[in-house]
């Protein structure tokens, strides 16, 4: 932005001593009038923003000008409403797993809803889909009371693993996380009460060997080896014929 470059260049060439609070206030008011008229398509400075800058300023005019410009920039509404800025709390991995394997429900007349929204839980761990699924595999059975519920949960996790193994579409990773969280919470209608500590998953060779993506790789390798054997046999037959 040329406006910021010109301001920064001015302060680089000119050394300005710290200014008083009154002088800073007058300077910001004058600058706000100029910027609001000449750059109204980019920003709009309000009195509330000026007061905020004054409350945190220590006499640095350059810092005050740059800050007033940045906080008054016009940002599209769709960028303001994003997942990261709407979070009301910080949710850890173990706490998140606990909310899934021990879901709490609220009765509302003839219906019910979860205390913790499954979609909100999924939003926290979109960058940790595989890790979250590993923890669910290790811990979901601890709070399930009936075999039918455990069967449904196992099917849900199996499908989530398949979706998560698809690397060509990142949206499927989010879908697998949402599916596993919501599926287990819905299936576990009456969780086992009591203290159930969350266990760390065992990352051993069994998990790797049984994973879908590794099985697919092994399948392709078997085809390659098979083709090589066919080629070797074909070359041997050709040599016998030539002899």
Per-residue confidence at 228, pLDDT binned at 50, 70, 90?
Answer: low
The model scores a pTM over 0.85? no
Which range is most confident: 85-94, 157-166, 219-228? Answer: 157-166
Query: Residue 205: is its pLDDT beyond 50?
Result: no
By percentage, how much of the chain surpasses pLDDT 70?
Answer: 72
Q: For residues 131-147, give the mean pLDDT.
A: 89
C-alpha closest to that of 188 among 125, 104, 94, 118: 104
Q: What is the mean pLDDT of residues 60-81?
A: 72
- pLDDT confidence of residue 43: 81
User: Vertex 183, ends 179 and 186: CA angle to 5°?
Assistant: 145
Q: Looking at the DSSP assignment, which residues form a beta bridge with residue 105?
A: 114
Q: Residue 243 class from Cβ within 10 Å (0-12 exposed, 13-18 middle, 19+ buried)? A: exposed
146-193: per-residue pLDDT in tens?
999 999 999 999 999 888 887 777 788 888 999 999 999 999 888 888
Burial class (CB in 10 A: 0-12, 13-18, 19+), 7: middle
Higher confidence at residue 79 or residue 214?
214
Higher-confidence residue: 72 or 75? 72
**Looking at residue 108, what DSSP letter applies?**
E
Pick the range with the lowest mean pLDDT from 32-46, 64-78, 111-125, 181-195: 64-78
Q: Which residue has the higher pLDDT, 181 or 213?
A: 181
Task: Give pLDDT tens digits for 114-129.
Answer: 888 888 888 888 878 8
Contact present, 118 and 91 (Cβ < 8 Å) = no
| Pick from 85, 81, 25: nearest CA to 52 | 25
- pLDDT bin (cut points 50, 70, 90) of residue 85 is very low
pLDDT band at 10 (very low <50, low <70, confident <90, very high): low
Pairwise pLDDT comparison (123 vs 9), residue with the higher score: 123
What is the structure's pLDDT at 42?
A: 79
Give the DSSP per-residue string, 50-81: HHHHHHH-SS-HHHHHHHHHHHTB---HHHHS
Cα 33 to Cα 124: distance, rounded to the nearest angstrom: 42
């Amino acid at each position: 932005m040329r406006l910021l470059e010109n301001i920064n260049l001015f302060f680089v060439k000119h050394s300005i001593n710290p200014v008083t609070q009154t002088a800073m206030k007058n300077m910001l008011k004058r600058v706000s009038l100029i910027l609001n008229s000449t750059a109204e398509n980019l920003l709009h400075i309000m009195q509330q923003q000026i007061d905020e800058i004054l409350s945190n300023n220590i006499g640095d005019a350059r810092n005050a000008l740059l800050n007033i410009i940045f906080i008054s920039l016009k940002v599209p509404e769709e960028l303001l409403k994003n997942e990261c800025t709407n979070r009301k709390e910080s949710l850890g991995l173990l706490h998140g797993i606990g909310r899934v394997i021990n879901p709490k429900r609220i009765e509302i007349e003839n219906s019910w809803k979860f205390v913790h929204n499954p979609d909100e839980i999924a939003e926290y761990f979109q960058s940790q889909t595989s890790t979250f699924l590993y923890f669910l595999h290790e811990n979901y059975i601890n709070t399930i009371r009936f075999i039918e519920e455990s069967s449904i949960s196992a099917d849900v996790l199996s499908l989530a693993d398949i979706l998560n193994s698809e690397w060509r579409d990142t949206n499927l990773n989010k879908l697998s996380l949402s599916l596993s969280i919501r599926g287990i919470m819905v299936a576990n209608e009456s969780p086992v009460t009591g203290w159930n500590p969350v266990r760390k998953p065992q990352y051993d060779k069994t998990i790797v060997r049984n994973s879908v993506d590794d099985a697919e790789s092994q399948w392709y390798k078997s085809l390659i080896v098979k083709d090589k054997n066919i080629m070797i046999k074909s070359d041997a037959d050709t040599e016998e014929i030539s002899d």
